Structure 1
Amino acid sequence: MSRALVTGMGIISAIGEDLAGNHHSLREGHTGIGRASHFQSHYVGTLPFGECRISNEQLKTMLGLENSSGYTRTCLLADKAFSEAIKDAGLFENDISSFDTALISASTVGGMCLTDQLYEDANLKSAGSPYLDAYSCSAHTFKLINRYKIRGFTDTINTACSSSANAIMMGVRLIRSGRAKRVIVGGVDSLAKYTVNGFNALKILSESACKPFDDNRNGLNLGEGAAYLVLEAEEIVKGKKVYAEVAGFGNANDAHHPSAMSDEAVGAIRSMREAVAVSGIDFEEIGYVNAHGTGTRNNDEVELFGLNQLFAKVPPYNSTKSYTGHTLGAAGAVEAIYSILSIVNAELYPSLNVEMPISNFDVKPIDKLLQNQEIRYVLSNSFGFGGNCTSLVFGSVN
C-alpha cells in the first residue's frame, strides 16, 4: 500500500494570491476579512466577507484567459490555485494527461455565484448567457479537465463544508488502493448571493469579524478561495520535494440536524478517532489541531467537547477561518495547506479576535505566533451541513 505524499500546493484566498502570500499573512496575523469590493449584494454594506482582492479581469489576464468565455469566478479561482499547485509539483503536460493521474475537486456554490444570470436564464428572461453550461458545481472541474488535458479519473464532491476534505480523502484512497499514482485534490467556492442569503436566513452570519472559540462569538463570515494539493504515490516521487504525508482520514455522519451538530459530537468524535486510527498513531502524537471553528455558538462548543473526549490534554489548536472567513467547499483544502505550512515551517499561527476563550473548557486557542515547534502530526477538521464530518491527519516526512 503506497503512502500519499504532498508534492505541490496552490492557493488563493482573502489573505493572499498564492502560497507565499498566504504564509506571510498567517505569520503576520493579517486577516482578509473586511468589506467586499467585487461581490455585489444587498449585504455588502452591512456584513464583512473574506473576499479575494483580485478581480475577475485581473485573474483572466494573469491566467491568459482574456479571450476565453464561460469562466465564472469559481472557475477562475480554481484555475489560479490549480496552476500554482501543478507548477509547484514540477508536473509536465504528460504527467497531467497520464491515465494514472486523477483529479478530485470540490465545490458547493459552483457556477451559482452568477445568481442573477442563473435566474434570468432559468426563467427564459435572457437570450442565453455564455454561462449556460457553467452553473453546476462541477463546471470548474470540466474547465480544468479541458484546459489541462486531464484524461484520468475525475470527480467533483459536494458535501457542504467538508467537500474538499473529502476530495483529499478520496485522493489518498485512490493512491493507497493502486487505482492512481497521482491525484490532484482540492476545492473552490466563490461568494454568491445564493449562499449569503441562505446563511443569513439561518441567522448565523456575524456583523463583525468572526471570533472562533470566543465566549462572545456570534456567527461566521463567508469567504471565497481555492486550494489544490498534488498527491503522489511514494514510489514515483523519486527525490522530489515533499511537504508532508496524508497519513490518515476519517469520515462519519452526525445524523442529527440539517445544519447543526449534536451536543454529543457523535460524528466529529468518530471522524477524528478514525483519522488517528488510520494513521497508526496515538492521540498524544498530534501536535496541533486545525479546528473547523466556524465561530457559531453550536459548532465551537461541540468541537471543543469532542476534542476533550478524545485527548487527555488537548494540543494547541486554532481556527484559521478568522483569517479567510468560511470558504465552504474550499475550506478543507485551504486548511489542509495551512496545516502543512505549520509542519514544514515548525510554527503555529495565532487565532484572531479571541478576547475571552470559551469558559466551559480549560483550553485556550493559540494566541500568538509560535515558532520552533516540533510538529510531527496535525489533525485538521472539516464539518459540513447534514452532519458530514471529515478529519484528516497530516504527517511530517522528515
Structure 2
Amino acid sequence: MRRVLVTGMGIISAIGENLSENHASLRQGKTGISNATHFESRYAALLPFGECECSNERLIALLNLQDSRGYTRTDLLASKAFAEAIEDAKLSQEQISSFDTALISATTVGGMCLTDQLYEDANLKTSGSEYLEAYSCAAHTIKLLENYKIRGFSDTINTACSSSANAILMGARLIRSGRAKRVIVGGVDSLAKYTVNGFNSLKILSSKACKPFDENRDGLNLGEAAAYLVLEAEDVVGEKKVYAEVAGYGNANDAHHPSAMSDEATGAIRSMREAVESSGISFDRIDYINAHGTGTPNNDEVELFGMSRLFYKIPPFNSTKSYTGHTLGAAGAVEAIFSILSIVHDEIFASLHVETPMSTHSARPVAALVSDKKLNYALSNSFGFGGNCTSLVFGRIK
C-alpha cells in the first residue's frame, strides 16, 4: 500500500497570514482571539473571535486578483492558503492539471458568510447581485478548479467541524488505493452571522477567550481560517521536501445528539482507535495529541474520557483552538498543520488560558512550550456536530 506524504502546506488564520507566521505565534503563545474588526455583526462588540487580520482588500492585493467580482471572504481565504500550499510543494501547472491530481476541500458555511446579501437575493429584494453563484458549499472549490485548471477528481465535504479532517482522510485513501498520485486537501470557513447566531442560540459561545480543559470553561470562540495540505504518493515525491506522513485515519459517528457528544465517547473512542490501528502502531507510540478541545463543558469532558479509555497514560496534549478559535470546517486542516509543525520542530505548543485544571481527570494540557521532545507520531482529533468524529495520525519521516 502506498505511503501518503505531506509535501506542501498553506494556512491563514487569526495568528498569521502564512505558515511561518502561524508557527511563530504558536511558539510565542500568542493568541489571535480578540475583538473582530472586519466582521459586521451586533455580536462583534460583545464577543471575542478568532478573526484573520487581513481585510478583503489586502487579500485581493496579495492574490493579485485582476477581477474579484463575486469573491466572498470564504473564497479569498481559501485562495490565499491554497496558493501557499501548492507553491510550498513546488507543483508545476502540468502536475496541477493532471488527471492524477485531485482536490478535496471542505467548509460548513461556504458563501453564506454573506448572510445579509443571501437574504436579499433569496427574497428577490435585489435584481441579482454579483454573488448569486457564490452561496453554495462548493463555490470556493469551483473557483480553485477554474483558476488552477484542475481536471482531476474533486469534491467538497461538509461534516461540520470534522469537514477538513475528512478531506485529508479521503485524500489519503485516494492515494493509498492508487486512484490519485497527489491530492490537495483542506478547508475554509469565514465568520458569518449565520454561524454566530446559530452557535449563540446553543448558548455555547464564551464572552471571554476560550479555555479548553479548564474546570471553569464556559464555551468556545468562533474563528475563521483556511488551510491546505498537498498529499503525494511516496513513489512520485522524488527528492522533494517532505514534512510528514499521513500514517493513519479513523472516522465514526456516535449518532447521539445533533450538537453534543455522547457521555460514553462512543464515536470519539472509535475514531481514535481506528486511526491508531490503521497506522500500524501501538497506542503507547503516540507522542502527542492535538485535541479537538473546544472549551465547551461537554466536549472537553467527553474527549478526555475517551482518551483515558484508550491510553494507559494520556500523552501530552493541547488545544490549539485557544489560539485560533474554532474555525469549523477549516479546523481539521488547521490542526493537522499544527500537529505536523510539532513533529517537524520537536515542539508541543502551550494550551492557553488554563487557570484551574479539570477536577474529573488527572491529565493536564501542556502549559508551556515544550521545545526538546522528539515526536514520532501525533494524533489530531476533529469532532463534528451530529457525532461525526475523525482522527488522524501523522508520522515523522524516517
TM over 0.5: yes
- Structure 2 partner of 1:371: 371
Once residues 208 and 365 of structure 1 are traced to their aligned partners in structure 2, the CA distance between those partners, rounded to angstroms, is: 19
Once residues 245 and 177 of structure 2 are traced to their aligned partners in structure 1, the CA distance between those partners, rounded to angstroms, is: 16
Once residues 136 and 386 of structure 2 are traced to their aligned partners in structure 1, the CA distance between those partners, rounded to angstroms, is: 20
Cα shift at 1:208: 0.2
Q: Does 1:218 align with 2:218?
A: yes
Cα shift at 1:127: 1.1
- Structure 1 partner of 2:278: 278
- Structure 2 partner of 1:156: 156
Once residues 244 and 19 of structure 1 are traced to their aligned partners in structure 2, the CA distance between those partners, rounded to angstroms, is: 15
Once residues 386 and 97 of structure 1 are traced to their aligned partners in structure 2, the CA distance between those partners, rounded to angstroms, is: 36
- Structure 2 partner of 1:99: 99
Q: Does 1:86 align with 2:86?
A: yes
Cα shift at 1:68: 2.6
Cα shift at 1:67: 2.2
TM-score of the two chains, using structure 2 as the length reference:
1.00
Corresponding residue SS for 1:81: helix
Cα shift at 1:80: 0.2
- Structure 2 partner of 1:7: 7
Once residues 28 and 127 of structure 1 are traced to their aligned partners in structure 2, the CA distance between those partners, rounded to angstroms, is: 49
Give the alignment of 1:177-256 within 5 angstroms. 177-256=177-256
Instruction: Give ranges in structure 1 of 5+ residues lacking alignment.
Output: none
Corresponding residue SS for 2:15: coil
- Structure 2 partner of 1:17: 17
TM-score of the two chains, using structure 1 as the length reference:
1.00
Which deviations, in whole Å up to 9, do the C-alpha atoms of 1:269-306 show, x marking residues without a partner?
00000000000000000000000000000000000000
Cα shift at 1:31: 0.2
- Structure 2 partner of 1:175: 175
Cα shift at 1:217: 0.1
The alignment of Structure 1 onto Structure 2 pairs a total of residues equal to: 398
- Structure 2 partner of 1:29: 29
Once residues 122 and 335 of structure 1 are traced to their aligned partners in structure 2, the CA distance between those partners, rounded to angstroms, is: 35
- AA aligned to 1:341 is L
Corresponding residue SS for 1:370: coil
Corresponding residue SS for 2:330: helix
- Structure 2 partner of 1:264: 264
- AA aligned to 1:244 is A
Corresponding residue SS for 2:103: strand
Once residues 306 and 375 of structure 2 are traced to their aligned partners in structure 1, the CA distance between those partners, rounded to angstroms, is: 21
Cα shift at 1:211: 0.1
- Structure 2 partner of 1:332: 332
Once residues 48 and 294 of structure 2 are traced to their aligned partners in structure 1, the CA distance between those partners, rounded to angstroms, is: 14
Which deviations, in whole Å up to 9, do the C-alpha atoms of 1:248-267 show, x marking residues without a partner?
00000011000000000000
Cα shift at 1:372: 1.6
Cα shift at 1:65: 1.1
- Structure 1 partner of 2:130: 130
Question: After TM superposition, what 4+ stretches of structure 1 lie above 2 angstroms from structure 2?
Answer: none
Once residues 370 and 335 of structure 2 are traced to their aligned partners in structure 1, the CA distance between those partners, rounded to angstroms, is: 18
- AA aligned to 2:262 is S
Once residues 339 and 68 of structure 1 are traced to their aligned partners in structure 2, the CA distance between those partners, rounded to angstroms, is: 33
Which deviations, in whole Å up to 9, do the C-alpha atoms of 1:119-147 show, x marking residues without a partner?
00000000111000000111000000000
Cα shift at 1:152: 0.2
Once residues 113 and 150 of structure 1 are traced to their aligned partners in structure 2, the CA distance between those partners, rounded to angstroms, is: 25
- AA aligned to 1:262 is S
Once residues 281 and 314 of structure 1 are traced to their aligned partners in structure 2, the CA distance between those partners, rounded to angstroms, is: 16
- Structure 2 partner of 1:52: 52
Cα shift at 1:323: 0.1
- AA aligned to 1:223 is G
Corresponding residue SS for 2:301: helix
Once residues 157 and 234 of structure 2 are traced to their aligned partners in structure 1, the CA distance between those partners, rounded to angstroms, is: 25
Which deviations, in whole Å up to 9, do the C-alpha atoms of 1:311-351 show, x marking residues without a partner?
00000000000000000000000000000000000011001
Once residues 358 and 249 of structure 1 are traced to their aligned partners in structure 2, the CA distance between those partners, rounded to angstroms, is: 28
Once residues 126 and 50 of structure 1 are traced to their aligned partners in structure 2, the CA distance between those partners, rounded to angstroms, is: 32
- AA aligned to 1:235 is D
- Structure 2 partner of 1:73: 73
Once residues 41 and 68 of structure 1 are traced to their aligned partners in structure 2, the CA distance between those partners, rounded to angstroms, is: 23
- AA aligned to 2:359 is S
Which deviations, in whole Å up to 9, do the C-alpha atoms of 1:357-378 show, x marking residues without a partner?
1111001100000012110000
Q: Does 1:294 align with 2:291?
A: no
Once residues 304 and 356 of structure 2 are traced to their aligned partners in structure 1, the CA distance between those partners, rounded to angstroms, is: 15
Q: Does 1:118 align with 2:118?
A: yes
- AA aligned to 1:13 is S
Cα shift at 1:69: 1.1
Once residues 345 and 125 of structure 1 are traced to their aligned partners in structure 2, the CA distance between those partners, rounded to angstroms, is: 53
Cα shift at 1:66: 4.2
